[in-house]
Chains A and B, each alone.
Chain A
Amino acid sequence: MQQVNWTALTIFVLLFGFVSWLGFAAGRWRRGDMDQLHEWGLGGRRFGTLITWFLVGGDLYTAYTFIAVPALAFGAGALAFFAVPYTIVIYPILFLVFPRIWQVSHKHNYITAADFVRGRFGSRWLALAVAVTGIVATMPYIALQLVGLQVMIGALGVSGQGLMATLPLIISFAILAAFDYSSGLRAPAAIAIVKDVLIYLTAFTAVIVVPLQLGGYAHIFAAVPREKLILAVPGPNTVGAYGSYATLALGSALALFIYPHSMTGILSASSGHAIRRNATILPLYSLMLGLLALIGFMALAAGVDKMPEYALGFKTYGANFAVPALLLHSFPSWFVGVTFAAIGIGALVPAAIMSIASANLYTRNIYREFLHPTCTPKQESQMAKWGSLVVKGGALVFILFVPTQYAIQLQLLGGIWIIQTAPAVILGAYTRWFDAWALLIGWAVGTAVGTWMAVEVNFAAVYPLTIGGFGLPGYSALYTVILNLGIATALTPIFRGLAAGHPVDETVEADYVA
């Protein structure tokens, strides 16, 4: 392995130490009663526009994103840029749908999407499906944050044999687990501010300084192979790469905000207005993500993959090493420390929120609903704290003992699974027309067919659908949620006909608006 980069490592450790302290101190910020689940798990729903901006930005634009999107650009070229239209179309969805969900959740003290579905459709089984889907989809996502952290630690030159090799990862995760346990959602909210400042510093410095070093953007794009510079123009009778690109963007966008960690970030806002305002200011992160994607091309132009000092890194981490290698190549050690800390802390924030979100789901929609309906608020909150430890332990074990490839494949499946809850959650915000059983059957079929599609194409996101000889390659999550919705729509009148009486709905239209 390469030499330990002591300057960078020192800065990295200092910044890590600072945010760890901040994580513990955050428990006293806008202090609340931590024996209440909405205090521990949603920060008391007290975050205004600015804190929500940091929190949701830190939540959605994860460490893994910052490594994987440039890595995809490095390997696959233009296709990686689907992240830009994806992160553009998420904001109209946020603007239109989520203030309503915030409002009704505030009114009825819903903590999770499954709580909302339970109240709206009166079905504990549909709520269970939403909760289990959320937990299962989130676990590999947490594991991938660890992959991001692992790549950064490795790039600092820290290595060892056996347990020593993984000790830094275990220590950082243990600290994360401890401050999460004691401070709840306030910890990632406070740390997100530091993380985002560092990430913006890294991103904007990189996109200005590196092109200067490499002789301008024209030179950088000249290094990209011609066939990867833009999308391949589709042949006759197929939508080709255009279909993949657009469906990946749209499907990912529909899935994003129903992930439990997104929901947790959004529900912790102090009002629907704070969410709407965030739909206008969060795109700054999209801009940064787009610029970061270009870093993949800069790594190509700099030729870091052909430099002997980074050979081992590329061998160990593959294209994910493109970003750290370029940063090591382009910046002095002290700034490398800052940038690596930015990405490393960028792993902690979403990992913290994801484990809190999963713990909320388990506690509310499995433990209280099925196992211990008479639990006190204090017991409920305590169970969530333990739950967050279990989730993080699980993710850590996963990353230590299972090949990274499986985490990536499971995360892909997670996207396909989570989108199947969209009809109940997103359309549920507007209408109670659907029957709960019809939604449940749609969810089951969508999940099964989506999983089958992914396995069929060896865990690629794009499935080569063909209808009447016309090729429609596209994101299997989008195709299967359309199938899911079709089934739910077709079955709803049938179930209505079978069932007598009024559908149950504890919410009324006025609950959804301020």
Chain B
Amino acid sequence: MNDIASQDRWSWWYLLFVVEAVAVLWPPFYNRVEPEWYGIPFFYWYQLLWVVISAVLTAIVYFATDSNRR
């Protein structure tokens, strides 16, 4: 709990946040209809899928950076 030195240092795990930001904030990556998934255009399912992926990435960052603090 009181290990201040390990608390707010830069962690390389934070790069996962950069990955997810770029993946969803760069429309050329996903602004198309094909391939569809159960009739849902790529534009929509790609972004919905990234909601799930980003939650997993955040969980990874949490366990990688927060585990020594409880």
Contacts and interface: CB of A to CB of B under 8 A. Distances in A.
A389 interface: no
Contact of B43 (A96, A217, A230): A230
Q: Which 5 A-B pairs have the closest CB atoms?
A: A218-B39, A217-B39, A92-B17, A513-B7, A85-B24
A85 B14 contact: no
Given A217-B38, A513-B7, 19 more contacts: A81-B43, A81-B47, A84-B24, A84-B51, A89-B21, A91-B55, A100-B8, A217-B39, A230-B33, A233-B31, A246-B25, A250-B25, A273-B69, A273-B70, A276-B62, A277-B62, A279-B62, A283-B55, A291-B48
A88 B27 CA distance: 14
Contacts of B43: 78, 81, 229-231
B51 A283 contact: yes
Contacts of A87: 51
Given A88-B50, A92-B21, A246 B27 contact: yes
A22 B58 CA distance: 34
Interface in B24-67: 24-28, 31-33, 36, 38-41, 43-44, 47-48, 50-52, 54-55, 58-59, 61-62, 66
A216 to B, nearest CB: 5
5 contacts: A92-B21, A95-B62, A273-B69, A513-B4, A513-B8
Using C-beta atoms within 8 Å of the partner chain, give the interface range for chain B.
Answer: 35 or more
A218 B36 contact: yes
A367 B7 CA distance: 36
Given A246-B27, A283-B55, A89 B44 contact: no
A96 B13 CA distance: 12
Contact of B55 (A89, A216, A249, A281): A281
Contact of B62 (A78, A216, A280): A280
A216 B39 contact: yes
A235 B59 CA distance: 39
Contacts of B4: 510, 513
Interface string A398-412: 000000000000000
B27 A290 contact: no
A144 interface: no
A510 B7 CA distance: 10
Contacts of A116: none
Contacts of A291: 48
- A interface SS class: helix
A246 B48 CA distance: 16
B68 to A, nearest CB: 11
Given A229-B33, A276-B62, A291-B48, A242 B28 contact: yes
A284 B25 CA distance: 19
Contacts of A283: 51-52, 54-55, 58
Interface of B: 1, 4, 7-8, 14, 17, 20-21, 24-28, 31-33, 36, 38-41, 43-44, 47-48, 50-52, 54-55, 58-59, 61-62, 66, 69-70
Contacts of B66: 273, 276
B33 A219 contact: no
B42 to A, nearest CB: 8
A221 interface: yes
Given A88-B24, A231-B27, A512-B8, A279 B58 contact: yes
Contact of A290 (B41, B51, B54): B51
A417 to B, nearest CB: 23
Contacts of A219: 39
B48 A287 contact: yes
Contacts of B14: 92, 96
A34 B69 CA distance: 32
Contacts of B24: 84-85, 88-89, 249
Contacts of B47: 81, 84-85, 88, 290
A285 to B, nearest CB: 9
A92 B20 contact: yes
